[in-house]
Structure 1
Amino acid sequence: MKHLFKPEVAKGIWTLLILLLVIKMSWFVVELLWLPTMGVDHSKESRAKALYYRVKLSPNDGAVPTTKRPVQTAGSIQDIKLLAIYNASDVTVVTVEYKRATKVLAKGETINGFVLEGAGSNYATFSKDAKTYQIDLIVSRKGEGSIKSAQTSAASAPSADQVQGEVIDAGDHKIVDRSLLDHYAKNMDDIYKNIGIKEIKKGKDLEGFSISFIRKGSPFAKLGLQRGDVIKAVNGQKIDSYNAAFDVYKNISNINNMTLVIQRGKEEMELEYEVN
């Protein structure tokens, strides 16, 4: 059989194959021990978003949103408490508490910079700096202190004929039953059913009050008051404003004696009363 290759050629081919195999094995060992498994050592680019963001804290990059807290300014309307209301078609008077002091205000008068503009059955409105504020009436637990509105319906208002208590003439003075004062202290509407009070003004200034009518046989008539009398003072307190008048009214249940100074015609008179 004739040989295809000469022995020298065949030996050279086997030598070359063995050399290639050795090189391949050597490269495999190097790759396994020293080279990275993924081939080229580089960071793979990722399109995933980071779990955090960088934010510049420079104040020039825009205002950081903050939660606003209410600021308590001095002289707030919240410092004023509404204790009592008298509201009629021609007059509005309220009693308020400010800095633990009680004050009676007529429409247009001011407390702590707030002007009384009007009132409803259970609230009063004030104004300041072209703004309007509303204060709700505080209802006392004992039912005292709040003056009923003159707009109360006739069905719910107590009758003037149901007033308990008498006025007894003792000569130089009159004795007034305390239950009578207690009734009028809690039922202001009944006062205006028995007596009419009219303002006395000089220009725009209020100077006092006069009696425009008195119901015949009423407790006020028994007090010795007459139509046309001008009330000047009560227990030494000059009655020349709604403040003064309602200061007397709100304390009427606490008095034991009362001196009423009136002007009748050209004569000034003193009427004395004992309360028991």
Structure 2
Amino acid sequence: MIFSNSRNSKNQRPPFEKWYSYLLFVFIGYCIADLAILAYRDRMLPQSAPAARPKAPPIDTSVNRGAYNSITSRNMFASNGEIPDPLVDKTKGPEAQKEQVPVPSQLPLNLIGTLVHSNPDKSLAAIEVRGKNQVISYTPGKEIEGMASIVRVERQKVIFRNLNSNRMEYIEMKKDGNKVAFGASAVSAGGKEVQKAGDNNFVIKRADLLKYTNDLSSVLMQARAVPNREPGTGNINGFRLLDMQPGSIYEQLGLQRMDVIKSVDGTPVDSPAKAMELYNSLKNSPKVTLQVERNGKNETMTYNIQ
């Protein structure tokens, strides 16, 4: 029994032994094919470049000159050196074209003063409606008592549309020979309309006050002021006087450079319109108090009108 078992174990073969010869043939064939490719690779590559494809014809991007007829006919760029006439709607007839030129207005309005801003929409005009003794500040786009709509504010002139006739009209400040002379000439003449009665206490005659309020544009030219804003919030809490003419009404009123005008009679001055309204309200006031911030401290200026 022991002898037979040892004999059987010698006759057994390893698994897959019959496949060894096939695997060897496959490996030899792979090596021969690889060597053949290396030998004939240069002959299998193309010897000449492929034929070039025909190029697409170029696209014509030029524009016919006739496409610019609408521009050249209107002469927008003044090719001949002449400025063309403004475009108007000719379908509305000659009357609609005439209204482009404002005419003097017959409305019961008096122009008291103007403030022309670099932004036309922020310009102001102080206008008095005759018979109401009331001066109101208007900006472009606002209506005046249902009579007119402000179109443009110019220096000493306001252009508006009459809501009744739909015409363009204008009003100007009155030009009379008795206009007050401000600046150095008035100082050299020695004329002072405001008298100092004590510390921060002044007296001014009503007749002199009316001269200033009736010539508001000249008064506004005597000083340069900018809005004073609160740090952090940016809200306007008054107007700071950056500069003023020597001997001007501002100097006579006891104001100094860099003063901040904060309120008039307790009413805050937080906009140019409010400042103009308060200025014109002085006509009928017996006394006016002005709160001024000077060097970080608040001071009260009192003006008695006689």
Structure 1 segment 201-240 matched on structure 2, within 5 A? 207-240=237-270
Greater alpha carbon shift after TM alignment, 257-266 vs 101-110: 101-110
Question: Is the Cα–Cα contact under 8 Å of residues 105 and 116 in structure 1 kept in the other structure?
Answer: no
What residue number does 1:140 align with?
none
What residue number does 1:86 align with?
113
CA drift of 1:190 comes to 3.2
In 2: Cα distance, 1:209 partner to 1:260 partner: 12
In 2: Cα distance, 1:89 partner to 1:172 partner: 32
AA of the residue aligned to 2:111:
A
AA of the residue aligned to 1:94:
A
Question: Is the Cα–Cα contact under 8 Å of residues 93 and 242 in structure 1 kept in the other structure?
Answer: no
C-alpha distance after superposition, 1:212-258 (max 9, x if no partner): 21223334213221111111111122211233222222232222111
In 2: Cα distance, 1:134 partner to 1:247 partner: 26
Pick the aligned partner of 2:273 from 243, 263, 274.
243
In 1: Cα distance, 2:218 partner to 2:135 partner: 23
C-alpha distance after superposition, 1:138-162 (max 9, x if no partner): xxxxxxxx756xxx8xx99642144
What residue number does 1:52 align with?
none
CA drift of 1:133 comes to 6.6
In 1: Cα distance, 2:291 partner to 2:249 partner: 18
Structure 2 unaligned residues grouped into runs of 5+: 1-104, 118-122
Question: Is the Cα–Cα contact under 8 Å of residues 103 and 243 in structure 1 kept in the other structure?
Answer: no
In 2: Cα distance, 1:181 partner to 1:100 partner: 20
What residue number does 2:303 align with?
273
Greater alpha carbon shift after TM alignment, 107-116 vs 166-175: 107-116
CA gap of 1:169–1:228, structure 2 versus 1, over 3 A, is same
CA gap of 1:105–1:179, structure 2 versus 1, over 3 A, is closer
CA gap of 1:249–1:147, structure 2 versus 1, over 3 A, is farther
AA of the residue aligned to 2:181:
S
Pick the aligned partner of 2:217 from 163, 185, 189.
189
Q: When the two structures are aligned, how many residues end up with a matched partner?
A: 182
Corresponding position: 1:104 with 2:136:
yes
AA of the residue aligned to 1:170:
G
CA drift of 1:117 comes to 3.9
AA of the residue aligned to 1:183:
K
For the residue of structure 2 that corresponds to 1:175, the secondary structure is strand
For the residue of structure 2 that corresponds to 1:217, the secondary structure is coil
Structure 1 segment 1-276 matched on structure 2, within 5 A? 82-90=109-117, 91-95=123-127, 97=129, 102=134, 104-108=136-140, 110-111=142-143, 116-120=150-154, 121-125=156-160, 134-137=168-171, 147=173, 158-160=180-182, 161-162=185-186, 165-171=193-199, 173-200=201-228, 207-276=237-306
Question: Is the Cα–Cα contact under 8 Å of residues 83 and 97 in structure 1 kept in the other structure?
Answer: yes
In 1: Cα distance, 2:109 partner to 2:207 partner: 27
Greater alpha carbon shift after TM alignment, 109-118 vs 164-173: 109-118
Question: Normalised by the size of structure 2, how large is the TM-score?
Answer: 0.47
In 2: Cα distance, 1:206 partner to 1:101 partner: 29
Question: Is the Cα–Cα contact under 8 Å of residues 282 and 288 in structure 2 kept in the other structure?
Answer: no
Question: Normalised by the size of structure 1, how large is the TM-score?
Answer: 0.51
AA of the residue aligned to 1:177:
K
Please identify which structure carries the higher helix content: 2
In 2: Cα distance, 1:176 partner to 1:210 partner: 23
In 1: Cα distance, 2:138 partner to 2:249 partner: 27
Q: What RMSD over aligned residues (CA atoms) do the two structures have, in Å?
A: 4.0
Structure 1 unaligned residues grouped into runs of 5+: 1-77, 138-145
Question: Is the Cα–Cα contact under 8 Å of residues 238 and 263 in structure 2 kept in the other structure?
Answer: no
